[in-house]
Structure 1
């Protein structure tokens, strides 16, 4: 947020200022009413224009009079707005007003291509024969303070973002291999406290970040490839872990309670047509079969090339919405947040849809897209990132507006991810590239 866009004074913001509810002007405009009005005006501006527009709407409201400006000192207001507009539920700065301002400025940096570029180099394993053909990064995940990269040999490397230091390399527990790449990482769930990673053979491991370094990852689930197929994608949010499998008919979705680590259900036919490709993943690094994402509505959104579905995680995988496509989707381009999803088809057309009902929101063209050549991601602030060839481009997905291309050319990209502050990509030469848009 630039100095001209600052909203409210914050007034230190450390606690909600107590004011008399009756008498004077405050009796005419009660504080709860003004807080509700300010919240609704900000949300309306965010949804109708973009999230950055919420600041100007708030600034206009606070200038009405001193009574209305006094609402800007309510930390509860800024907490609600940080949650609703920037999807922030944990306070990382001194006050919620500071939190809101930080993410506004970071989003503004994202929109106007202001970043710091750095590289990280992972530590190669020396005990795995996969390195004979080179170690391939399969998945990348970000939290506020950490970055995790998962590789084709089953290892996961953890970095500390503020210092860019390599913290640790984790290897799955050894077991009989059912194919050269059966241990390849197929999904990572990362917070600042916990790392959960899964491999193609269906094993799920858990690491407590900051625990004893000598402790190996704990295997929370033992995979069963013969009965379930290959675990082609794995993700989670809040109380859910969700795995997408291919290889055995009727077993596409597996859902666990993340707190108890108990399997809740296993069913679904989304990947039945891709069963053979699922088996091939165990022996060769082929195209992605499917992707899955969990939303804040306790639903999962998943896609394969010809099909897109939304399932209810509470109700045994009940299909809530479904779309089929004649022009198949490029699975590597698919990304979803709680509000929107985006995917590119074989013609290079990116379609943005609402995750709630799969209705189309807008479209934009991804120049140079091909069947194998698009890797995509999207953050919850509304910025979509697509890598085509060596060029990484950024769009404002809520309206399909193209913003810019990143200056750096990094070669072929194996994996990429974006959150509200960073874009991270791993190139085929083994370099992890990091773009930091954080407010300074």
Structure 2
């Protein structure tokens, strides 16, 4: 007995197969009454559709949510009407794609754009560009281009920022691919040729925040070209060398090496006040931390912030998950890893062990999601669904739900010094000062 048909008085005769016809109305009345979808409240159907889509995304990847929704909307006209709810698409966009603001007119269009863009990542559909900038726009009296090396990259919806070994940050407008501004740190005494090197950079609303190995933190407005403000004057002797720096609207977190029991410096992102100092994560790496002032070849540690007020710290021998609110370590993995190939994004993290095996885990529980072979990957990153490793001068791509290798980006770039990805772009910088940009954004 079919349970997908209902009385025409409830759904206009539009049954589970998309229309009336032979046998669809031949069932006895009591069977139709058992599945009377027309009287199900719309909020219930919205909640059901949301849960099924989210469960499908968690089980089979984010692209699986759309087919699950399609099956729901085919049940009958009443269920299909739920697809017109902007609240449904807002919920799904936030839960599945982690988007809390619109770049398109409606949440439905936002969801469709995110789905198509993610499918472009899977299918290797993108536009490739290189970004050009004036290498000598330096007001720090240090025009030695031989040591000008890009060390950090950051992405927002409309901008890319590149941080260099001379302390400068160059800002690019992504829609036009144009260089729009260069920000320089305020002058101070140098404690080594690379003490001004940018070790972390991120966007918060309309601000750009960046830090250097000497511990200085600067803030700039993306709408005011070239103007910077020093938010914090670093003290290398007291704190050690700032090896990595990450942040969001709510938190700024620095990872230091060189002085015992001062690995983490956590600041309130709104007030810029220091709220915590402590941790021993980098204590075994004190010596190579100090070496960063004179040599940029080592990756000492990485720090990443996820959406759940959690920070993930990586060193050569440990991975830890740190609660930024309570300042408590929630879990750790003791493993020899390649720090440059470690990353965290939203609810997942990835690291490559000494055998070249990449391990993808949930941030909260450290439960393994998948693993794949990434031997030779010394530099890597991830977004919400894909992992990227620079191996042999090319960038290899894996999907992170099952660990399947997908492809290699067509362009060979050589040795990369910085690599980053978000839900639309992949960007890398190489030793020849070239910034490479791959745009996977959906297009009509």
Aligned-residue offset at 1:398: 1.8
Aligned partners of 2:265 and 2:276 also within 8 Å:
yes
Match for residue 202 of structure 2 among 164, 189, 211: 189
Match for residue 366 of structure 2 among 341, 358, 361: 358
Aligned partners of 2:288 and 2:300 also within 8 Å:
yes
In 2, the alpha carbon distance for the partners of 1:253 and 1:99 equals 37
Aligned-residue offset at 1:175: 0.5
SS in 1 for 2:144: helix
**Is 1:377 the equivalent of 2:381?**
yes
In 2, the alpha carbon distance for the partners of 1:135 and 1:75 equals 49
Match for residue 168 of structure 2 among 137, 140, 155: 155
SS in 1 for 2:62: coil
In 2, the alpha carbon distance for the partners of 1:229 and 1:406 equals 38
In 2, the alpha carbon distance for the partners of 1:432 and 1:254 equals 30
Aligned to 1:203: 216
1:197-239 CA-to-partner distances (Å, cap 9, x unmatched) read 010000111111113x36x211111111000001100001231
Aligned to 1:124: 135
1:1-400 mapped onto 2 (5 Å cutoff): 28-125=39-136, 126=138, 127-129=140-142, 131-191=144-204, 193-211=206-224, 213=225, 216-315=227-326, 317-325=327-335, 328-367=336-375, 369=376, 374-380=378-384, 382-400=385-403
Aligned-residue offset at 1:192: 5.3
Aligned-residue offset at 1:338: 2.5
Aligned partners of 1:110 and 1:437 also within 8 Å:
yes
Aligned to 1:14: none
1:73-109 CA-to-partner distances (Å, cap 9, x unmatched) read 1101000101111111111101000000001000000
Aligned-residue offset at 1:71: 0.5
Paired residues in the alignment total: 407
Aligned partners of 1:237 and 1:295 also within 8 Å:
no
SS in 1 for 2:187: coil
Aligned-residue offset at 1:26: 7.2
Aligned to 1:10: none
In 1, the alpha carbon distance for the partners of 2:141 and 2:167 equals 10
Kindly name which structure, 1 or 2, has the bigger radius of gyration based on alpha carbons: 2
1:129-165 CA-to-partner distances (Å, cap 9, x unmatched) read 3625231100001001000000000000000000001
Aligned to 1:434: 437
Aligned-residue offset at 1:305: 0.7
SS in 2 for 1:129: coil
Aligned-residue offset at 1:414: 0.5
Aligned partners of 2:203 and 2:248 also within 8 Å:
no
Q: 1:68 to 1:344 in 2, by over 3 A?
A: same
Gap runs ≥5 in structure 2: 1-35
In 2, the alpha carbon distance for the partners of 1:130 and 1:392 equals 31
**Is 1:417 the equivalent of 2:420?**
yes
Which portions of structure 1, spanning 4 or more consecutive aligned residues, are displaced by more than 4 angstroms?
Answer: none
Aligned-residue offset at 1:169: 0.4
1:29-76 CA-to-partner distances (Å, cap 9, x unmatched) read 101000000000101111111111100100110011111011111101
Instruction: Calculate the aligned-residue CA RMSD, in Å.
Output: 1.4
Q: 1:132 to 1:421 in 2, by over 3 A?
A: closer
Aligned partners of 2:316 and 2:339 also within 8 Å:
yes
Aligned partners of 1:79 and 1:97 also within 8 Å:
yes
Aligned partners of 2:38 and 2:78 also within 8 Å:
no
Aligned partners of 1:192 and 1:209 also within 8 Å:
no
Aligned partners of 1:423 and 1:434 also within 8 Å:
yes
In 1, the alpha carbon distance for the partners of 2:48 and 2:343 equals 33
SS in 2 for 1:45: helix
Gap runs ≥5 in structure 1: 1-24
SS in 2 for 1:261: coil
Aligned partners of 1:415 and 1:426 also within 8 Å:
yes
